Amino acid sequence: MLDYKYLVSIAIILLSTKIFGGLTEKIKLPQVVGALIAGVVIGPAVFGVVQDTAFLDEVAELGVIILMFMAGLDTDLNQLKKKGVSYLVIAIFGVVIPLVGGFLSYFWYFNINPGDSQSVLKAIFIGVILTATSVSITVEALRELGHLTGKVGNAILGAAIVDDVIGIIILTVITSFRDSSISISVVLIKIVLYFVIMLVFGLIITAGARMLDLKTDRRQITVYVFALVLIVAYISEKYVGIADITGAYLIGMIFSKFSIRNEIVKKMNVLSYLFFSPIFFASVGLKTKLDSFSTSMIVFSVIILFVAIFTKIVGAGIGAKLCKYSTKDSLNIGIGMVSRGEVALIVAQKGHKLGFIDNNMFSPIVLMVVITTILTPILLKISMPKIKEDKDVSLKPMTIE
């Protein structure tokens, strides 16, 4: 007989994430922090009223796919073309240094044997998590300070977009190594072919954009596009061995330049906000267990938190300095990219599913995400003087609630 307890679990998750999200929003923090805390409170760590189940994991996976698709839709390709070189330099340094820092921290602290390939991959994956950048809360802080459309604001937004693309590529490479019997050359060839095919597919879709925009019922286009996202995500994961969220992100990028984009965003936002995003963020909290916080893990949490903050400020800051930004602007750009937010959680969830992230690693990761997300706007408000905000704000990036 079908157990209907999942209905109660979903109701508790939806209510608790909105309540805690509303509370964190009142104190000028992102709702994602509240959703994470809600998952911890209702999960095994505190009250235990909701348990992590296979069903919730599958719904959370759908939530991840939707979030990454919407992140792709939010990609400003024109902005990338305009100052792509400087954004690329900032993003590369802002990715490589945290990647190395995270890898070395795990490798050194847990005394990993270099000959143990799976343990080395786990160390690399910690670094991959630290490469993530989530600027939704940074955007709100910059808007409040009046710097959103300034040189620093544009650099942070542009570099964050490139950062996401690089992060997706790194994630794709690492996840392709889960099968140790596959050679590096085969993995790289497969990845190159995959991106070439997606590029050709994007060109074909773009070529038919006029027909898509003019002859398709706009009320139904979101259904068709979302179905396409799910199909590409399935093919990517099942037959190519590349993360499903990679396919979702790329499809989002393809449709980001269509006039139908706003219609898709409007409807997908409702779907994500009402159901899938709360379950995803809460599911991460559900995996957090306070009993996993041994003395050893507490020390590692402190280390990984320090590395997450320091390497992103230094990495992105060095990249900005090389692109002729002033020392002060370079520091602010680095600070603006410290927040890991939902992007790090998405990567961590994928790593857990593939066996790269152990259960006891979730607590340090969640702690790092929450603190970096809280700390970023505070540091920005200290380091950047408030100016009158330009009322003509053309950039309004998607925020995930």
Which structural domain range is residue 87 located in? 5-383
CB 131 within 8 A of CB 163: yes
pLDDT for the residue numbered 398: 39
**Which residues contact residue 10 at a Cβ distance below 8 angstroms, ignoring those fewer than 6 apart?**
279
> Which of 251, 212, 209, 214 is CA-nearest to residue 229?
251
User: What are the φ/ψ torsions at residue 160 (nearest 5 degrees)?
Assistant: -65, -35
Q: Please tell me the distance from the alpha carbon of residue 337 to that of residue 29, in angstroms, as a whole number.
A: 16
Quick count: other Cβ atoms within 10 Å of Cβ 86?
Answer: 20
Residue 392 located in a structural domain: no
Residue 12 located in a structural domain: yes
Residue 245 located in a structural domain: yes
Residue 156 located in a structural domain: yes
Residue 116 located in a structural domain: yes
**Which residues contact residue 358 at a Cβ distance below 8 angstroms, ignoring those fewer than 6 apart?**
122
Residue 390 located in a structural domain: no
Mean pLDDT by 10 residues, the chain (401 residues): 83 94 82 83 89 88 86 74 83 94 95 88 92 72 68 80 77 73 70 87 78 61 91 87 80 85 88 88 79 83 95 95 92 91 79 84 85 82 66 40 37
CB 250 within 8 A of CB 204: no
Residue 37 located in a structural domain: yes
Residue 295 located in a structural domain: yes
pLDDT for the residue numbered 393: 40
The count of domains in the chain is 1
pLDDT for the residue numbered 310: 96
Q: Please tell me the distance from the alpha carbon of residue 66 to that of residue 47, in angstroms, as a whole number.
A: 29
pLDDT for the residue numbered 144: 63
pLDDT for the residue numbered 388: 53
Output the domain CATH number for residue 362: 1.20.1530.20
